[in-house]
Each structure stands twice: as C-alpha cells, then as structure tokens.
Chain A
Amino acid sequence: MVDPGWYMGLASALFFIGAVGLLLRRNALIMFMCIELMLNAVNLTLISAGRALNDINGQVAVFFILVVAAAEVVVGLAIIVSIFRLRSSASVDELSEMRG
C-alpha cells in the first residue's frame, strides 16, 4: 500500500502546475483547463485523506466538487463563447473595459 502522503505530494504538484498555468497563460480556455487541473488535485487529496482516515465522506465530498466543477465549466464556457462573439479573441488581456 502506497502511503497517502505520496498521493498528497502528487496532488500538490498537480495543484502547483495548475496554479502556475493559471498565472502564466493568457488564453481564457487554457486558464479554465488549469482550474480543472487544480480541482482534480483537490479531489485527489480528499480521496487519499478519506482513505487514510478510513472515512467514506471524503468520496462524498468529491462528488459535490465534481458537480460544482461541471456547473462552472458550463457557465464559464458559455461566457467565453459570448465574449468571443463580441471580440473575436479569447485572450484575457484584451478584456479591460472594467479597469478602474
């Protein structure tokens, strides 16, 4: 049996890669994919913590995160498509109308 700490180390590495991608990339679609990556890392952490603590509720929590992620993808991609209709670009650098 692999120690849960290794799973959590892998999950934190995935989370870190996702965070770096979210900060570095300017394409809205890639940023969305990085958010999905970070959500998956959190799910992996919950599963391994649930296994280490011998508690099924870790897996139940993963379900709720999956639902929230699915809803977020639906609305976010709809927003990206409607922005693309207006601007013909998916780069977040060009969306500066709300700058104060």
Chain B
Amino acid sequence: MVETLLFVVVGLVALLGALTVVVAPNPVHSALGLLATLLAVAVLYVLQLAHLVAAVQVIVYAGAVMTLFLFVIMLIGVDKDDIRKESLPFQRWVVGAVSAVIVVFAAVLTLSGDFDWVPAAASVPSPDINGTVEAVAEPLFTDWVLAFEATALLLTVAAAGAIALAHYRRRVT
C-alpha cells in the first residue's frame, strides 16, 4: 500500500520533471526538471530495494552531473529562443506521425492485458533481492571484474579527453 502510494506520487514527479526538460524555454528550468526526475528515479530505486544504486544515483547524477550541467549553462549563457525555430517542418510532422503510431501500438499492446513485461519472471519465486553494497559488490568484483577494469580505463580516457578539449586552441583563424 505504501509502495503503491509512493510509486504514484514519485512517478508523477518524474513525468512532470521529464516534461519540464522538454518544454521549458529556459535551460536552467530544464536542468531543474531533470534534477527532479533524477531524484524521483532514485526513490523508485529504493522502492525496488536497490539501495546502493539509489545512493550512487543521487551522488553521481544529482550531485556531479547536474552540477556540471548547471556550470556549463552558466558558462555559455542562457539563450531562450531556440524552441520556436522551425528549420525542418516537414520532417517534424513525419516524426510526429511515426511516434504517434508507436504510442498507439504500445497502448493497445499494454491494454490488451496479455502482454508479459518480463517473460521469464512468472516461474521464478521472488524472495526480494536486497541491493546492499555487499550484494552488488560480489558479482561486480568476480563475474564482471574485466568490465569493471574497462570502465576504469574509460573514465581515465574521458578525463584525458576533456582536458585535451579544454586546452585546444585554433591554430589557423
């Protein structure tokens, strides 16, 4: 009961934040909408017992990534006039029609009732897995240790690339 109530409220917050990202003319408002969505998704993680992932979501996304976004917005200034420009009006209508078809198809599929979201789940008994640090770290450092090291390399390369881009000066003007 508590989970249902929290799911409805937090899900609405997530959807409203996502809509704010898309429709707000001011990029700062978009960033705040994204922040609301990220925090709401973190609450949804907690509802599904993914405690460690929720904490990482708040620290990395809502903390570091959003700070970086707001920093860049402040750095390059706020221009408000991009949403009204129609440089590709025809393609926009095509995309709208295609996505409307997809939405109607998905709605019909869902409302028909016999669509199974997680096909193999019905046979599995569900004593809830608990996403503690210990439970997540055990497969992370045994089965997926190679992928883990690869992500460490990826982060190093990304940091070096960002520094290289920041130092780049145009030779020929």
Tell me, in angstroms, the Cα distance from A46 to B121 when the chains sit together: 13
What 0/1 pattern do residues 1 to 27 of A give for CB contact below 8 A with B? Answer: 110111111101110111111011111
How far does the Cβ of B1 sit from chain A's closest Cβ, in whole Å? 10
B interface, over-half SS: helix
Tell me, in angstroms, the Cα distance from A45 to B19 when the chains sit together: 19
What 0/1 pattern do residues 75 to 97 of A give for CB contact below 8 A with B? Answer: 10111111010100111010000
Contact assessment for B76 and A5 in the assembled complex, using a CB-CB cutoff below 8 Å: no
Residue B101 interfacial (CB < 8 Å) = no
Residue B85 interfacial (CB < 8 Å) = yes
How far does the Cβ of A92 sit from chain B's closest Cβ, in whole Å? 9
Contact assessment for A53 and B121 in the assembled complex, using a CB-CB cutoff below 8 Å: yes
Contacts A71-B154, A84-B76 given; does A5 touch B117 at CB 8 Å: yes
How far does the Cβ of A39 sit from chain B's closest Cβ, in whole Å? 9
Contacts A24-B22, A75-B162 given; does A54 touch B99 at CB 8 Å: no
Residues on A lying within 8 angstroms of B by beta carbon are 1-2, 4-10, 12-14, 16-21, 23-27, 29-30, 32-34, 36-37, 40, 43-44, 47-57, 59-60, 62-64, 66-75, 77-82, 84, 86, 89-91, 93
